[in-house]
Amino acid sequence: MKIVSRAFAVVLVGVAGALAGRAARAQDAPVVSPTPLRFTVDSDGHPMAVWARRPAQPVGSVLLVHGRTWSSLPDFDLQVPGLRRSVMVSLAARGLAAYAVDLRGYGATPRDGTGWLTPDRAASDVLNVLDWIAAQAPSLPPPALVGWSRGAAIAMLAAEAAPSKISSLVLFGFAYDPAARFVDEAAPARPPMIRNTADDTRSDFISPKVTPPAVVRAFTTQALRSDPIAADVKGDAELNAIVPSTMLTPTLVLFGERDPGVRPEDAARLFARLGTSDKQLVVLPGADHAAQLEDTHDAWIATVAAFIKRHVAGAK
pTM exceeds 0.85 for this model: yes
Query: Where in the chain are the domains?
Result: 8-315
Question: What residue spans of the chain are helical by DSSP H?
Answer: 15-24, 72-76, 87-93, 119-136, 150-161, 198-202, 213-226, 264-273, 297-315
In this structure, are residues 165 and 125 in contact, taking their beta carbons and an 8 Å threshold?
A: no
pLDDT of residue 9: 40
User: Tens digit of pLDDT for each residue in 162-187?
Assistant: 999 999 999 999 999 999 999 999 99
Confidence at 32, pLDDT banded by 50, 70, 90: low
User: Tens digit of pLDDT for each residue in 34-70?
Assistant: 789 999 999 999 999 999 999 999 999 999 999 999 9
In this structure, are residues 255 and 284 in contact, taking their beta carbons and an 8 Å threshold?
A: yes
What is the distance between the alpha carbons of residues 157 and 136, in angstroms, rounded to a whole number? Answer: 24
Q: From the DSSP assignment, how many helices (H) and strands (E) are in the chain?
A: 9, 11
Side-chain-side CA neighbours of 188 within 13 Å: the count stands at 7
Count of beta carbons in the 10 Å neighbourhood of residue 269: 17
Please provide the CATH number assigned to the domain covering 8-315. 3.40.50.1820
pLDDT of residue 220: 98
pLDDT of residue 315: 56
